[in-house]
Structure 1
Amino acid sequence: MSVAVLGAGAFGTALAVALAARGPVVLWGRRIDWQGENPHLPGVTLPAGITVTDRIADALSAGAAGSGASVLLVAIPAQALSGFLDANRAVLDRRALVSCAKGIDLASGRSPAGMLGAACPGATVAVLTGPSFAADIARGLPTALTLACADAAAGQRLQHALATPALRLYRTTDVTGAELGGALKNVIAIAAGAAIGAGLGDSARAAIVTRGFAEMARFAAARGADPDTLAGLSGLGDLILTATSAQSRNFRFGVALGQGAPFDPAITVEGAATARAVAGLAARGGIEMPISALVAGLAEGAIDVKQAMDQLLARPLKEE
């Protein structure tokens, strides 16, 4: 299968670097004003097997004998995906589209795979998610991810097409669970970062991560996901990584909130928008999500960390 990556941010570029070991890859971005090294992924020189372009037609036509890319990895941030699909849905339909974004669209309440499926009903939609940092993937460090596709046979083909010696893919048909794990862990990572930034300690972080995971599982189950999926790479695995490492943008954003410090607005923090989307969906569905609701308030500036912790600690005592 020939592969193109749509989205030249850090993660899309890292995937292109990893997959270039298998064969030629086309990397598309809206603005390509760099050569050899993507400023979003410093220190990584692109291998010769990657063709970089800002022309979507070039990315879509890449492939053996000009037959077109058979797999498109869509690494476009969740909040920017709707606009991208509005402009390109006709040329994306009837292809294999693998979503590599994590989040929930604020306007529609849909996941990235849900948006891809709605915009391109003839496409085979899959999700690539799990505990990973772009720099690790680009450096060829061992990484395990979840590949979710409702079509089991198509998922198996994609698994073999996208796995590399350093990038191990585990397959599932639970697209909902895999996506929600990847989206919701960013929300909890912000809360964990806020606890550390405010000087509340590692014990407080552990409590937030544990109770946050319970929220993730509760929300996912209410949306029809298999609870076992949340206990895997795309849920618990990704949560552990994101809530404990300063490489995580969501964790660093939380630390800044806890310290009352500014955070670079140019850095994409998907968990902030996801918290707002999830809080609304949970309220309408009667799903108890206290940590997610408080993260939404923190991200909007409606409350501070002390108020958030006071509200959590004042909740009624209950069984675990």
Structure 2
Amino acid sequence: MKNICILGGGSWGTALAVVLAKKGYHIDLWLRDKKQCDEINNARENLKYLQGILLSNNIRATNDIIRAVSNKKIIVSAVPTHAVRETMKLIKSHICGEPIIVNVAKGIEMNTLSRVSEVVAEEIPNAEYTILSGPSHAEEVARDMPTTVVAASTKKAVAELIQDVFMTPKFRVYTNPDVIGVELGGALKNVIALGAGISDGLGYGDNTKAALMNRGFVEIARMGEAMGANKMTFAGLSGIGDLIVTCTSMHSRNRRAGILIGQGYSLQKAIESIGMVVEGIKTAKASYQLSKKYGVTMPITEEIYKVLYEGADVKNAVVKLMLRDKTHEIEDIVNEDQLFW
């Protein structure tokens, strides 16, 4: 249990390695790029993704995935959502027993519209699954700034084990049995963060952003309920908590990409400028498709999808949202027969 594997040496995977190393765990940090592995091991710093953070000698970078996962009870998957299935295929014949896969990616698989838990279950059915999610920028976690997250699993004992492994005086971990809700909250808020960034890029103010965040939250909860999540989960860390931080912080890749798009950058130019995976771009397409599949009304998501994938004008998208048919604020729970005003 003192040896943990982290698959993916981006900023978040590295930040979690820092957290665990401070607790005395020995971390095998897997990256594909051997040159980057050597750089991390020699400089004791991830210069590409997390500059300025000294890495403990308890962290060893490797590009040998078999070595990384061998004899590990806990395997943290910190690769982007689109790479999860491929990565699970690579490791499944090299793990033993019933490992705990801790997913920290926030997205939906594009072609299948599967949540990450479903992808892991298909590829490694003997694994226990947990998702670790919440308002947690890697840059702040690595610098030991107080942060709270949630560990969700269908098994209480598994969630509590991961809670114990990751919990520190500066990194507080709650537990939650609602895997669907925690996964969807973390994934769908990235789409709304793109919208918040677009609003900023257009030069709109706080009123506009507040409206996007609030009505975006309604969309997230609406979709979550349709897919079997508990609505209360979206009032928690992986819902409104993650939505706030991702829509308001310049650490957020999704918000920064949205700002560039609002300023007139093409989608490709915005992605190139960010230089890291922007999960919300793929998730916008997946969530739009899910809204059609489940018959869920998601007007903000739909307009963002059209801006990203159909070349819709961003200013016209805002106008269309503002001119939608008038309705009740709490339209999902208000029954017309119960209104007496």
TM bucket (normalised to shorter chain) is: over 0.9
Give the 4+ runs in structure 1 shifted more than 6 A. none
Distance 1:227 1:44 in 2: 38
1:65 maps to which residue? none
Distance 1:129 1:283 in 2: 26
1:14 maps to which residue? 15
Cα deviation 1:130-188 (Å, max 9, x = unaligned) = 00111111111111001001011121122112212211100011000001000011000
1:198 maps to which residue? 202
Q: Which moved more, 1:31-40 or 1:230-239?
A: 31-40
Which of the numbers 266, 284, 291 marks the counterpart of 1:282? 291
Q: Is the 8 A contact 2:253 2:278 kept in 1?
A: yes
What amino acid maps onto 2:270 in structure 1? F
| TM-score normalized by the length of structure 1 | 0.95
Secondary structure class of the residue paired with 2:75: strand
What amino acid maps onto 1:226 in structure 2? N
Secondary structure class of the residue paired with 1:20: helix
Matches within 5 A, 1:227-238: 227-238=231-242
| TM-score normalized by the length of structure 2 | 0.89
- The answer as to 2:52 corresponding to 1:43 is yes
Give the CA deviation at 1:86: 2.7
Which of the numbers 82, 85, 94 marks the counterpart of 1:82? 85
1:140 maps to which residue? 144
Distance 1:25 1:88 in 2: 17
Give the CA deviation at 1:118: 1.4
Distance 2:179 2:305 in 1: 25
Give the CA deviation at 1:299: 1.8
Secondary structure class of the residue paired with 1:200: coil
RMSD, aligned α-carbons: 1.2
What amino acid maps onto 2:299 in structure 1? P
Matches within 5 A, 1:1-320: 1-2=1-2, 3-23=4-24, 24-33=26-35, 34-35=39-40, 36-38=44-46, 39-61=48-70, 68-92=71-95, 94-261=98-265, 262-265=269-272, 266-320=275-329
Q: Is the 8 A contact 2:153 2:178 kept in 1?
A: yes
Gaps of 5+ in 2: 330-341
Q: Is the 8 A contact 1:90 1:120 kept in 2?
A: no
Distance 2:122 2:283 in 1: 19
2:338 maps to which residue? none
Give the CA deviation at 1:301: 4.8
Distance 2:182 2:217 in 1: 14
Distance 1:16 1:267 in 2: 19
Distance 1:212 1:291 in 2: 7
Query: Percent of pairs identical after alignment?
Result: 39
Gaps of 5+ in 1: 62-67
Q: Which moved more, 1:308-317 or 1:23-32?
A: 23-32
Which structure would you say has the larger Rg? Answer: 2
Secondary structure class of the residue paired with 2:129: strand
Give the CA deviation at 1:89: 2.6
Secondary structure class of the residue paired with 1:90: coil
Q: Is the 8 A contact 1:19 1:164 kept in 2?
A: no
Secondary structure class of the residue paired with 1:156: helix
What amino acid maps onto 2:54 in structure 1? T
Aligned length: 314
Q: Is the 8 A contact 2:19 2:166 kept in 1?
A: no
Distance 1:280 1:253 in 2: 21
Q: Is the 8 A contact 1:272 1:295 kept in 2?
A: no
What amino acid maps onto 1:7 in structure 2? G
Give the CA deviation at 1:90: 2.6
Cα deviation 1:68-96 (Å, max 9, x = unaligned) = 22111100100121222233333347211
